[in-house]
Structure 1
């Protein structure tokens, strides 16, 4: 497909299977706007073929056509990644068709109804609007790509700093200059990281000027790289400003001039060596006559590359230099050069020239002196470099930093600047939202006006104690919201320094820590509650053990005495039962002392567990049955303790003859029911049976309160059904 025409003509492809309508459309459109060139085809397939071989600015297509309708044409174009504007021009007025077209990427939708002149006037309007929008979008994309290309293609290192001197961005050339592998290694580092001694102080002075938005800065600095290698760089720096003219960052274009300095040293030793070296660089170099400083006797080939004027012509016509200076810059440049010659004051300038071909270029030029043996001025020299591309890069970066400023304003943390007395000078939207003020309400207020009174003294003492070299101070205070509520906040404060190293105010980062404070308080409450529960559980367990161990010892003793006169199998069951109860009690005390109710969880077959407990505690005259019991994850020994307690109580207190254990499945939970045919539980006991300060004290029972605690520690619940038969119901949530 051919590229777009550079003329103002708009190329339109109209697709419709009605040949008469194609002719009408072409005539009406050309009559309304003769800058629109119409190409017509009578099928969707033919339209796609011609679109692939010719350039068009917009496609106008009918919906209802044989073989391939308008939606099919549109879908095919978009599948080919072609974003050409597409207008659906059809006699169908169904809203659904319009919606489908727009969803597939149609630019607009127009029905073929109404007065022809009005209809085609609207069509022309839609065509022009679609093309203008498409061309604007394309130009914007090309501009952004050009900006990125300029920065990365720059032969010089490009750095962008924030107003605190921290590196925000740099290009690949900067990475090579500093000898680093990963750009992320130096993002956020201070510009003085590679400077030492007087170099750092000089850089500070220049940086502060730039922060205030003063003139461009061009300086040479000595860097010490990570590997210890010293290099000399030339930094061209300027302030980056927002749309209000306020500095938002610093742009520095840095060139390694270590080699150039060596060249200049050789120039002082040998003029011939200067010529040899100068002929191989792309900068323009000039030398004046020792006897007549106003006469240029040498120009290198770099001059011709920049000025686009032959060296011989310039040497014979020195007025070329002044005549090439842009009229708006001429007076400034001529004054600097005159001072250079008369007062021997170095000049370091950026200005514009008009080349021999009429092209506008930006030049950086520096004048220097060549000293003789007597250290008197023998000769003047100068070097000039084309910085046109750098200037373009600078402009693109300024626009980019405007976006950084917007991001700063949208920070989720409050950022404020106050003077030395605490008066707010700047505040971002996060602070306004936090405190409930409008911008004009907050700026000009003293911070103490919304600081809770008890923190005033500490706050102003902190400010008074801060020095230039003071580290960031972190504080926790409370602020008043505009509605009077108190907000706990954390502050990070550091000094704002002017170019004279004087403190002129303070930067403050403010964070709302309400949620953090609430979480700490809840954690403290939870710890206290846990401590009390642990003490209560431990006390209960020790008390139970004290009451029951003696009885268990008696059981073992009596078992030995009657062993010779009784059924040995029964005696073994009594002895095993006693040992098991002692084991459970000891483990309960151990777990209670550790603040625990349950131990290791494991998959447990409830049917087998019921059989084991029944074997130990159920007399032969009592029947225990179980039906459909599940496998559950639990502390097996503790659930065994629960079953032991409930079954023993049914026999000892309820005189039960039949006990049935079965399960019921509900939508949200699984229930295990333990039912017996014994005596009903009196209302007085029924109401207290699960209370924390009540448990049954018998030789066989560990207490229903322990049962409740074990069940609840598993995340389950236990209830006693109303009425008869006596039924304990353990509910296990499915989740």
Structure 2
């Protein structure tokens, strides 16, 4: 039920208004005879709308409205008066009145108009409040996004610049919001120039060659560029751009999020180089070499291993290392022993090639730890003993060179 405060110095008008408005069952009216009294009520009671006469002793209706607005009270306000001069109407509306309704005429229609005005004003006010709350929540979410993010309208004018973007760019939101001319690119490229956001807003334009597109579809582009800088140092940036829509579903602009992935890219390059180095070492060795993980799955082999087993590299990688032996159970046991004890020496096994030939071997194994001191795999050697003692060849099996 809507709570309405009615202010008028004529008790008869107050009684009639209360009667006609409350008979609908959707309004409850509180009455008072002066603006001064009304200000006191508003301090202690929450009302959905205020109806006020214009000409009253002491403070008139427009001065009353002015006091409310100066105090930051935005409750819907309706002037309900017999005074109808045009300048009064204009002043009332300029001060923020929602409706101006003349007293007089047939009571039923007059109060029906007043009731409708109250309903419309309250519904609009509540809808506006919901929008403000929603916008405030969206703004809070926007500013708490972990990625540096900014938004522009269709003309390229900056609408928002979140805290992460302030930290990454060194540019405060108050200095850049409202500007245009591609200035959002300056902190990262040294000049004002189109970025990924412009390619999305102008579908006819191709994505700048400085970007490597990872994903592109309607309303979305994800790309990387190595032609950027952060804090004066060269940087690799990941960027994601999506369209921004208004309440009617029309494109209102776009949002671009930026992430510095320089360290990640460097780590990937180092990992690739480490893998290439490991492969070089493996292939350069004349004896069979295999890398296995803690799950005993083969992760890499060299050409000598392919010759020993009669199986190609593709067929071996991903298979269970223990399955290469005539007794997989014993092979699994020795792998567990290495993981438990840290090392095993001269453990007899037999490896069977694809052609059926069986080669007896002695297993030497050592656990491999990462920087976190967690077991990452097993380094092992398989020695094929010569008749009567000695060793005629070596099949070495070692843990993968894992990062960390």
Query: What's the TM-score once normalised by structure 2's chain length?
Result: 0.50
Larger RCO, structure (CA 8 Å, separation 6 or more):
2
Max Rg structure: 1
Query: What's the TM-score once normalised by structure 1's chain length?
Result: 0.30
